[in-house]
Amino acid sequence: MPDKQLLHLVFGGELERPEDCKFRDLDKLDIVGVFPNYAEAEKAWRAKAQATVDNAHMRYFIVHMHRLLDPDGDGKF
């Protein structure tokens, strides 16, 4: 069986308040991309996070899409 794809989504945007997770404007979300594994997603996340470090309201996230697509982890979806 070939290696499983463990897809990860990296996205971010400006939050209303740094301590919350509510975005100011959903139309301005930065969808960085979908990556084949966590290591590649982390590289993209780190680059975006570093590039926006001066904006305390800007946050980037990694979403484990493979867990959403296959919550049981049995590969049958």
**Six-digit token pair at 13?**
């945007």
pLDDT at 67: 84
pLDDT at 70: 78
All structural domains of the chain with their residue ranges:
1-6+37-77
Helix (H, G, I), strand (E, B) or coil at 52: coil
pLDDT band at 1 (very low <50, low <70, confident <90, very high): very low
**Residues 24-72 pLDDT 10s:** 999 999 999 999 999 999 999 999 999 999 999 999 999 999 888 877 7
Residue type, 31: I
Residue type, 74: D
Global pTM reads: 0.85
pLDDT at 77: 59
What order of strands is seen across the sheet that includes strand 30-35?
30-35, 8-14, 58-64
Residues 62, 42: contact at Cβ < 8 Å? yes
